[in-house]
Amino acid sequence: MTDAAQLWLPGIRHTPSPNCDARPDQEDVNLLVIHNISLPPDRFEGDAVEAFFQNRLDPSAHPYFQAIAGLQVSAHLFVRRDGTTQQFVPLDMRAWHAGASCFRGRDCCNDYSIGIELEGSDTTAFTDAQYETLVWLTRQIRAHFPAITRERIVGHSDIAPGRKTDPGPCFDWSRYLEQV
């Protein structure tokens, strides 16, 4: 295990979120969860996702924000449409991205997973830059956490079926997994 300073990935904008805490077991990180997010839905760009992950989303800025403004959510990483990335939570900490979740009979996926949010939606194809960045991030993460095998890379929909649909039908799993 590397030291905590190295669990902020290099070359990425670090934007700490208060929505994280210590993992029950730092040595037990063995799942990577891919998500999509756009705020408001199906609109890209702007700082709404950053504001959301930092508990400073203005509920008056858009009607959709009124329903989510009080939620405390984060992800480890957020990949924009152009491939630029922000890291909100160090990889050794627990981000609050999965919610009620279960993988292979084990609940509370936040305890042992890393969450990556892609700026997108279930109805919009992801960009080449996002796939390139996601592959690079995955390689970096797996170098720190070798228990994250290809079989342990999943979508939010896989760990919260019926509740979540992301990364959605527009995410090209074959394209991504062939490169990792």
Of 50, 117, 151, 178, which one is the catalytic site residue? 117
Residue 78 · residue 117 · CB < 8 Å: yes
CA distances from 21 to 26, 55, 93, 95 (A): 11, 15, 6, 7
Q: Considering only CA atoms, which of 30, 53, 37 is closest in space to residue 141? A: 30
Nearest of 171, 175, 180, 2 to residue 79 by alpha carbon? 171
Amino acid at 18: P
Question: What are the helix (H) ranges across the chain?
Answer: 48-53, 65-68, 128-144, 156-159, 173-179
Residue with tokens 């997994």: 177
CA angle, corner 12, sides to 61 and 141, nearest 5?
110
**Residue-wise DSSP of 151-163:** GGEEEHHHHSTTT
- Tell me if residue 117 is catalytic: yes
The residues assigned a catalytic role are 117
